């Protein structure tokens, strides 16, 4: 039953991401970037300009814990380099979303390759997409 609810939440998050592609957090804010089920670590900063793969976007009104739960579900399914970011710090992303992402890349092609790999190995991520993230400052 828990798996059914997790799947429903996953699909809902993907749909939200499709209709409101949002993004990532300012480098001066704490960013969760967990690659396993272990307690989250904090990344000091992200580049001002990078590419990533957006897995889900969750409204900030739902709370960071909802985004972290979604990220944990992806990690538990084998997705690597999953993180949760606040979209409000980047001009290329809609504000007021927690974004679940995978990977930080220096080229668009790397992000596209990662997206394709995720889609090929994780059918539930058929709607994930590559995104360029640029800082507002």
Contact 102, 55 (CB under 8 A): yes
pLDDT band at 19 (very low <50, low <70, confident <90, very high): very low
pTM, entire model: 0.69
Average pLDDT over residues 45-64: 93
CA angle at 84 for the pair 92 and 89, rounded to the nearest 5°: 35
How does pLDDT run across 61-101, given as a tens digit for each residue? 999 999 999 999 999 999 999 998 999 888 899 999 999 99
Q: How far is CA 120 from CA 9, 112, 113, 126, in A?
A: 21, 12, 11, 8
pLDDT for res 120: 96
Lowest mean pLDDT among 4-8, 71-75, 116-120: 4-8
Count of domains observed in the chain: 1
Range(s) of the domain holding residue 77: 2-134
Between 1 and 66, name the one with better pLDDT.
Answer: 66
């Amino acid at each position: 039953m828990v798996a059914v609810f997790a799947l429903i939440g996953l699909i809902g998050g993907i749909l939200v991401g499709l209709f409101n592609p949002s993004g990532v957090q300012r480098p001066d804010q704490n960013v969760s970037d967990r690659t396993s089920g272990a307690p989250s670590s904090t990344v000091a900063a992200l580049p001002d300009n990078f590419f990533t793969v957006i897995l889900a976007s969750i409204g900030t009104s739902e709370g960071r814990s909802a985004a972290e739960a979604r990220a944990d579900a992806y990690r538990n399914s084998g997705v690597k380099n999953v993180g949760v970011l606040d979209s409000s710090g980047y001009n290329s992303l809609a504000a007021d979303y927690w974004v679940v992402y995978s990977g930080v890349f220096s080229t668009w092609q790397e992000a596209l390759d990662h997206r394709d790999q995720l889609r090929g190995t994780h059918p539930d991520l058929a709607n994930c997409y590559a995104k360029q993230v640029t800082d507002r400052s």
